[in-house]
């Protein structure tokens, strides 16, 4: 089964930009989603992208600052985060599945997550 590894998290200042990466262990026709879990909150959907890259889907209010993209030659999906805010502090997870969706149940494969901390 495919294994996923996120990277790019860290401590940043409010207003900064950050790019998260999700590398898959194999080349497969997976849709990929990004989710995040803030301290004390449930995990929530951020964005998803089809394997072809032609279809993207964002949670409400995410599209104005976040952009999801992929490079299938590198088996990598990116989440570009611009103008980060303190409320973006969370563990960010990528997940692979077979359809572009905003629900966790559609993604059988998950990475361990990368921590993003935004200081104000």
Spatial separation of the C-alpha atoms in residues 8 and 22, rounded to whole Å = 9
- Give the pLDDT confidence of 57-93 residue by residue, as tens digits: 999 888 899 999 999 999 999 999 999 999 999 999 9
Query: Can you tell me the mean pLDDT for 88-107?
Result: 95
- Give the pLDDT confidence of 12-23 residue by residue, as tens digits: 999 999 999 999
Give me the pLDDT at residue 50, please: 94
Query: Can you tell me the mean pLDDT for 18-42?
Result: 95
Give me the pLDDT at residue 18, please: 96
Q: Which of 15, 46, 28, 17 is nearest to 96 (CA)?
A: 28
């Amino acid at each position: 089964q495919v294994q996923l590894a996120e990277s790019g998290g860290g401590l940043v200042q409010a207003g900064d930009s950050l790019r998260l990466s999700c590398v898959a262990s194999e080349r497969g026709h997976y849709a990929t989603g990004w989710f995040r879990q803030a301290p004390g909150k449930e995990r929530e959907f951020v964005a998803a992208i089809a394997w072809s890259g032609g279809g993207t889907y964002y949670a409400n209010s995410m599209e104005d600052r976040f952009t999801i993209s992929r490079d299938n030659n590198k088996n990598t999906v990116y989440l570009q985060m611009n103008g980060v805010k303190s409320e973006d502090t969370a563990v960010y997870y990528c997940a692979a599945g077979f359809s572009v969706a905003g629900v966790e149940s559609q993604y059988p494969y998950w990475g361990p997550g990368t921590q993003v901390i935004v200081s104000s």
